[in-house]
Amino acid sequence: MHDPVASADPRYRADPPADDTIARILAGLDGEGRYEAIAVVNREIAAWTTNGVLDGWRASPATPAHIAAALEEFVHAARVLPDWADPARIGAAEAVFVEMSMLSCTLLFCASLPECYVPVDLASVLHTAGQLEQHTDYRVRSTAAMIFPVMLRGGLTAPDGGGVAQVLKVRLIHATIRHLIMRGNPAAVMAGGETGATLAELAPKGPGLHRALYARGWNVPQHGLPINQEELAYTLLTFHYVFLRSLRRLGLGLTAAEEGAYLHGWNVVGHLLGIGEPLLVRDMAAAERLFARLQARGRDAANGGALPYGAPDPRPALANALMRAMQDEIPLRLLKPFPTLLTRYLCGRTNARELGLDGRVSLVSRALFALCMGAVRGIDWLVRRVVPGFSISRLVSRVLGYRLTVKLLMDQTRPLKLPEVLLNGVAQAVQAWHHDPKAPAWMNRLELRLRPDTSSTSRKQG
């Protein structure tokens, strides 16, 4: 792999293998026939629960022949790891995720997801695809539905892991969204050189997400293709680079070898997700450069008129919905602003302002947060000189991450339920994360007292 190059504009490239698969499935269909075929696809890919299931996978007998053939050919080709994938480094990446445990969840909620909303074009698609300011569960749970299977032990390499299967599901969902928004195969538009194509907004013919996407309208010169290569690469960076950068900002940075392994593991995910190799980065310096360039271009889209005249910026609604979801799980009123304040700290002032997270927070809460961050960093630095495993920052992040994981991911009374196989994986991870092996015994006891009681957490199918 090498640093990204600007040989071709990634905004006008998507994922031909996945796009061609969906185009084959939907060819010649319109109206209800289109949505019925998509329902068949969703039913079939729901059976992709583990990597082992993909070996020799065949569609169910009731599946129309052309849909079965398209899906089977896609699975056969797309499930293979790249030849540069290193199982040892993938294992090291999994070890980082497991070792960071609940801290990984805190950084997902307070860094990766907020940064994902900064490019206005991507936020606009996310807004349409889930009305996410009203249904934050969708974004949180669908994101977790990929991260956990990918990063848990054996997620990418073991037959009983679920990472490859989950990534391929996401890849076809992306292709379906692109096909609906573009009202056909995106590659057909670009092959004709029609970069000036603009699809007018239509009145949705009935309720539902798929009809809303089809009627949405799209301006290719301003937006590029929906969920294009650049946006896919940027999203991947929020999962590995932003995570590693956040650890550094919390004073919990990893070694260069650990950071490189984590980037490598996610690069394998990027390959499976259909991201071209030039947009995969192998070290933090290259990741920082690419992230800055892509985020600047995504930010400039808003200032350059990417939003239709008079349309509201979707980013503040998305970000504030995420903050409210976290605040709802914090019992003390004084501490409720902490997720917003932590997001500001991890993502920076500019991003916080564009996400609408720069609103007024009580002076007491701000002072308490600043005092806590300063004291924690200072105490951690001092005590770790004598007790290497000591970290108050780690303790606080684990407690917050535990609460958010239990309440936002494992509670099956929420509208979007996790598949049972994934829920079991998350539950097993939570059980394994009860004890921090790097912390002194008294800190583990304190953490246990601060965590919410999971015995009452509902996992019933609501």
Residue 123 has a pLDDT of 59
Residue 416 has a pLDDT of 56
CA atoms of 51 and 114, how far apart (whole Å)? 30
* DSSP state at residue 219: E
The residue type found at 294 is L
Query: How far is CA 425 from each of CA 156, 402, 407, 412, 430, rounded to the nearest angstrom?
Result: 14, 15, 16, 14, 9
Residue 199, SS3 per DSSP: strand
Residue 1 has a pLDDT of 44
Nearest Cα to Cα of residue 434 among 406, 393, 407: 406
Residue 455 has a pLDDT of 47
Joined together, the tokens standing for residue 347 give 């993502």
Residues 6+ apart with CB under 8 A from 43: 60
Residues 6+ apart with CB under 8 A from 118: 295, 298, 299, 315, 351, 354, 355
In the chain, the N- to C-terminal Cα span, in Å, equals 46
Joined together, the tokens standing for residue 385 give 């000189």
314: left (phi over 0), alpha (psi -120 to 50) or beta: alpha
Residues 6+ apart with CB under 8 A from 186: 14, 19, 178, 179, 225, 226
Residue 12, SS3 per DSSP: helix
CA atoms of 436 and 252, how far apart (whole Å)? 14
Q: pTM for this one?
A: 0.83
Going residue by residue through the chain, which has 462 residues, state the pLDDT in tens, using 9 for 90 and above.
433 333 378 988 999 999 999 999 999 998 899 999 999 999 999 999 899 999 999 999 999 999 999 999 999 999 999 999 999 999 999 989 887 767 777 888 889 989 988 876 665 666 555 554 455 666 677 777 778 889 888 999 999 999 999 999 999 999 999 999 999 999 887 776 555 578 888 888 888 888 988 988 888 887 889 999 999 999 999 999 999 999 998 888 899 999 999 999 999 999 999 999 999 999 999 999 999 999 888 777 655 555 554 567 778 888 888 888 888 877 778 778 888 889 999 999 889 988 888 887 777 777 777 766 666 666 666 666 666 666 666 666 666 667 666 666 666 555 556 666 666 666 666 666 666 666 667 667 766 776 665 544 444 433
CA atoms of 133 and 151, how far apart (whole Å)? 27
Which ranges in 101-228 belong to alpha helices (H)?
102-107, 113-116, 120-130, 136-151, 163-182, 186-191, 209-215, 220-223
Residue 7 has a pLDDT of 39
Joined together, the tokens standing for residue 242 give 């932003």
CA atoms of 77 and 54, how far apart (whole Å)? 11
CA atoms of 322 and 434, how far apart (whole Å)? 26
Residue 127 has a pLDDT of 55
Joined together, the tokens standing for residue 434 give 């009860």
CA atoms of 137 and 139, how far apart (whole Å)? 6
Which ranges in 304-419 belong to alpha helices (H)?
314-327, 338-347, 349-354, 363-383, 392-404
384-391 own/partner pairs: CB under 8 Å, 24+ apart: 387/440, 388/438, 389/437, 389/438, 389/439, 389/440, 390/439, 390/440, 390/443, 391/251, 391/252, 391/438, 391/439
Are the beta carbons of 178 and 227 closer than 8 angstroms? yes
CA atoms of 25 and 48, how far apart (whole Å)? 18
CA atoms of 330 and 343, how far apart (whole Å)? 15
